[in-house]
Amino acid sequence: MKIYLIRHGRQCSKRCNVDVALAPEGVRQAELVGKRLEHAGIEKVYVSDLIRARETAEAAGRFWKAPEEVRPGLREISFGRMEGLSDQEIEVQFADFRREYARMERDLPYPGGECAGDVVARALPVIREIMESGAETAAVVTHGGVIRSLTAYFLGMDLAKWRLLGKNLENCSITELECRKEEDRVWVERFNDYSHLEPYPELLRKNW
């Protein structure tokens, strides 16, 4: 079966992992990825419980017309005490942690939050459930930390290096998994595919 991992659209705040609605650009991104996969045969959509993911699924899902199921296990990695802070505040308050984290020697949890292994532990059962569902094609609307962590796991990478996957993971990008339940194997067919956004530079992360 195919599983499309889709990052949510652009949210209306740049603060760390705040549970807010999509920006207008985020709605447009969601519509574009929805149209891109309109004929992919998506049978069911699994969605993080955070607002930006649910609104992305709603906008994209108009093209898919598939039932949706909200799963908290798909929510973004917890940034702990960093959540709600600006990038500048994080740089000052967590400078020591950021230096250690950048070395990628251990799968460090964010202060008071999660590490990649924690994300895999709660998100992987959802992926296994999808593989067992009998569907041929499903979409998972989730977050950058979840997509990177799961991709690193399926590729057999050291989870300490999960952030090497997609320095700028685009909003509403597509990561495609090919899953064979009988072989208990997952192939990463494509990662961070955002060709549907490229005609619209204002929708790319570098221009946010």
Contact 101, 108 (CB under 8 A): yes
With cut-offs at 50, 70 and 90, classify the pLDDT of residue 195. Answer: very high
Going by pLDDT thresholds of 50, 70 and 90, the confidence category of residue 167 is confident
What mean pLDDT do residues 188-203 have?
98
Q: What is the pLDDT of residue 179?
A: 94
CATH fold of 2-77+115-207 reads Rossmann fold (3.40.50)
- Per the model's pLDDT, the better-predicted residue between 168 and 34 turns out to be 34
pLDDT, tens digit, 9 for 90 and up, residues 79-98: 999 999 999 999 999 999 99
Q: CA–CA separation, 60 vs 65, rounded Å?
A: 9
The structure's pTM equals: 0.96
User: Largest Cα–Cα distance in the chain?
Assistant: 49
CB 50 within 8 Å of CB 22: no
Q: Per-residue pLDDT for 181 more than 90?
A: no
- Concatenating the DSSP letter of every residue in 150-173 gives HHHHHTT--GGGGGGS-TT--TT-
Q: Is the pLDDT of residue 110 over 90?
A: yes
Length of the chain measured in residues: 208
Q: What is the pLDDT of residue 80?
A: 98
User: pLDDT value at position 184?
Assistant: 79
